[in-house]
A and B are shown apart, each in its own frame.
Chain A
Amino acid sequence: MNHQITHKGAQGRRPFRPLRNLNAKIAAIPMILTAMVVFVGGTIWTVVYSFTNSRLLPREQFVGLKQYERLWGTSRWQVSIENLLIFGVCSLVLSLVIGFVLAALLDQKIRFEDTFRTIFLYPFAMSFIVTGLVWQWILNPRLGVQNVVRDLGWDSFVFDPLNNADIAIYGILIAAIWQGTGFIMCLMLAGLRGIDEDIWKAARVDGIPAWKTYIFIVIPMMRPVFITTLVIIAAGIVKVYDLVVAQTSGGPGIASEVPAKYVYEKMFQSQNLAQGFAASTMMLLAVLIVLIPWAYLEFGGRRRD
């Protein structure tokens, strides 16, 4: 027993050998420096200057939490956060569900699978700006869907999300889903292909229906794929900007504003760096609130068992 404990202790503590594998360590220095200076350093700098009253140029006049008070008192920021929540939840759920269903359908060994995969993935090759412009035209009441349906004879048909303040954010959501789902589908398809054929055979022998096999066996087995997908979708949600600029530029009024746009406009158009920094710090905080519990569960949990 005593022996066992010492053994465990030795395994937990790695021997300290700084010169071991020296070449690899030297090779990693530029990357480590970049990460420290650019990412960590830049982040800390931003957070520090968010407590100042910097305008066009950064300056060290600290004003405490004033920028944050103003930020949360601004209705445009509140609308931005609300929109991000709506957009985030909807796009997360919809792109996961639609992406998975498409992948599952493609996985039925259908004919022309390559063709379908290309078609579904194609929107992903387009930039957000192009996607945004295309959907701006499709959703334009005088050019797009509404006009087509009216020409078919349904004169009272109204479909004008981008000019209606209550639902403008959903017009942007549609474009985002159209653009991103194909990629999610491909990730899911790769995950599905990674499931051993024998599992399907065993499930079939046991007489389990296909949908149950998916939900209770296949999806739990695809956990790593889902986590990768989640991270990719979540990053896309937080940084959504160009789509909004191309489709509505935040309008009508401030109905489809998003946080990233607030940050950009305060920093560069209003020439108020500190206010933009405060907003971007809040965005970072939001990401950390999601990321830290997840990282704890993912990495902290595994070491214990």
Chain B
Amino acid sequence: MNLKTTFSVAAVVAASCAAGGAQATELEVTHWWTSGGEAAAAAELAKAFNATGNTWVDGAIAGSGGVARPIIVSRIIGGDPMGATQLNHGRQAEELIEAGLLQDLTEVAEAEGWADFVNPTSLLDSCTLDGKIYCVPVNIHSWEWMWLSHQAFEDAGVDVPADWNEFVAAAPALQEAGKVPLAMGGQGWQQNGAFGVLTYAIGGVDLWSQINADKDAEAAAGPEMGKIFEAAAAARELAKDSNVQDWNQATNLVITGQAGAQIMGDWAQGEFQVAGQVAGEDYTCLPGLGLNEIISTGGDAFYFPKLDDPAKTEAQLKLASTMISKQVQVAFNLKKGSLPVRGDIDLSAANDCMKKGLEILAAGGIVPTGDNVLTADTTGQMEDLQTEFWSDLSMTAEEAQARYADIISDAD
């Protein structure tokens, strides 16, 4: 351990000496990685960037993306751009690119051949507008996971379910044992995310794309979707005693065995890790709720606002190529618990759940994410609808479906 530390320090020193000729340029980087595992992952990026002789000025914004995104966007629009910023790729930055506020990275990308190793290619596609590349994908995050507490099922005297249907069947036993079957935070994005997972798992990928990508309002009002709303109404019954707001509080209910399961993205894994739990022994993860083993390829990406200072622009390009380099991808993603964007690296240190994800990725079981096909506006409307539906037990599945179809028919 000690030797390793010394070695890496030496490497950093050597690297900074080598780059000593170039002037150290400060670059402010904004992101919203503030929880324990996330901050450690961001520190990996900072370390790698500092090693190139530049300086990473950390601009972490507390709160979730919902808090940070408006701050980031208004800084870019308002003429006070940062050096680089995290955003979720997809349509969020579309208008910023159209307004010419973001740096074009095509040159670096072509020189380094990003198109050859970024896997799946859809990640780079969502960074591309009119043939030009505007962002660096750094990881893959997927929503389609269910996390199950072994302790909760043991206490209830039932086996740990292998899919959603078994879980629903086991729920009464959990309730009898005084457990909350399904932990669900009371925020719109969590409820909307879980609903999306139910759509994928029960309705299948085609139905999801028909509605979310092609905006087919008829399908949204149809009987196939009706089944999913029925399932969501049942899930709502199972989740009604959760009484928590934040996702990590809900995850904590699962970790402590007070709740049976949670539907949450793979970032929840970091919480299990911090709590010292082992995948397969203390908890189980089911991609696609065990019904339909797929993962979506959402994730984080970095965008670089246009700056006047050429030295800073150079540092931006340097940072972009650092982020996607092999070593950084490995170090960063192991800390973050997410999957790397490169298909050509070895992640043998990954845990059980990450390996499941990698296998699905390799097998091509990938689907687009909501961020890629829906505008922030439509997503916001859906979150409003879902949060009302999940908290108001008197709202029927039919009512919710009718309003869902309305939103889809207005979406663009």
Residues in chain A within 8 A of chain B (CB atoms)? 55-57, 70, 74-76, 163, 165, 249, 251-255, 265-266, 268-272, 275
Contact = CB atoms under 8 A, between A and B. Distances in A.
A165 B392 contact: yes
Contact of A265 (B245, B380, B388): B380
B100 to A, nearest CB: 11
Interface string B350-370: 000000000000000000000
Interface string B92-103: 101110010000
Contacts of B69: 268-269
B73 interface: yes
B410 interface: yes
A268 B77 CA distance: 12
A275 B377 contact: yes
Contact of A271 (B243, B245, B376, B389): B376
Contact of B70 (A57, A76, A268): A268
Nearest to A142: B243
Nearest to B93: A56
Given A55-B375, A56-B73, A70 B387 contact: no
Contacts of B410: 70
A253 B192 CA distance: 12
A129 to B, nearest CB: 13
A169 to B, nearest CB: 14
Given A57-B77, A57-B95, A253 B186 contact: yes
Nearest to B395: A253
Interface string B372-408: 0001110111001001111110000000000100000
Given A269-B70, A270-B379, A55 B387 contact: no
Contacts of B95: 55-57, 271
Contact of B376 (A165, A251, A255, A269): A269
A265 B379 CA distance: 12
B165 interface: no
Contacts of A56: 73, 77, 94-96, 376
A38 B302 CA distance: 35
20 contacts: A56-B77, A56-B94, A56-B96, A70-B410, A165-B392, A251-B186, A252-B391, A253-B387, A253-B390, A253-B392, A254-B384, A255-B392, A265-B380, A266-B380, A269-B66, A269-B70, A269-B380, A270-B379, A271-B73, A275-B377
Main secondary structure of the interface of B (DSSP, over half): helix
Contacts of A165: 391-392
Interface residues of B, number: 30
A70 B403 CA distance: 12
Contacts of A253: 186, 387-392
Contacts of B389: 253
Interface of B: 66, 69-70, 73-74, 77, 92, 94-96, 99, 186-187, 243, 245, 375-377, 379-381, 384, 387-392, 403, 410
A76 B186 contact: no
A76 B376 contact: no
A83 to B, nearest CB: 14
A165 B395 CA distance: 13
B92 A271 contact: yes
Nearest to B410: A70
A76 B384 contact: yes
A265 B375 CA distance: 14
Nearest to B389: A253
A270 B186 contact: no
A254 B388 contact: yes
Contacts of B379: 270
A255 B74 CA distance: 29
A45 to B, nearest CB: 16
B151 to A, nearest CB: 22
Please list the 10 inter-chain residue pairs (A to B) with the smallest Cβ-Cβ separation, ordered nearest first: A253-B391, A270-B380, A268-B70, A56-B95, A272-B377, A271-B376, A252-B391, A270-B377, A76-B384, A254-B388
Max count, chain B CB within 10 A of own CB: residue among A163, A249, A270: A270
Contacts of A57: 77, 95, 99
A75 B387 CA distance: 12
Contacts of A74: 381, 384
Contacts of A76: 384, 388
Nearest to B67: A269
Contacts of B186: 251-253
Contacts of B187: 249, 251
Contacts of A275: 377
B116 to A, nearest CB: 33
A249 B95 CA distance: 28
Contact of A272 (B70, B77, B380, B403): B380
Contacts of A249: 187, 245
A91 B150 CA distance: 49
A74 B383 CA distance: 13
Contacts of B70: 268-269
Nearest to A266: B380
B43 to A, nearest CB: 28
A272 to B, nearest CB: 4
Contact of A251 (B96, B99, B245, B381): B245
B391 A255 contact: yes
Nearest to A272: B377
Nearest to A160: B243
Nearest to A57: B95
Contacts of A272: 376-377, 380
Nearest to A264: B70
A275 B403 CA distance: 18
Given A57-B99, A163-B243, A249-B245, A271 B377 contact: yes
A57 B73 CA distance: 10
Given A253-B389, A255-B392, A269-B376, 9 more contacts: A55-B377, A70-B410, A74-B384, A76-B388, A253-B390, A268-B74, A270-B377, A270-B379, A270-B380
A101 to B, nearest CB: 37
A5 B325 CA distance: 91
Nearest to A268: B70
A270 B381 contact: yes
Contacts of A70: 410
A196 B187 CA distance: 56
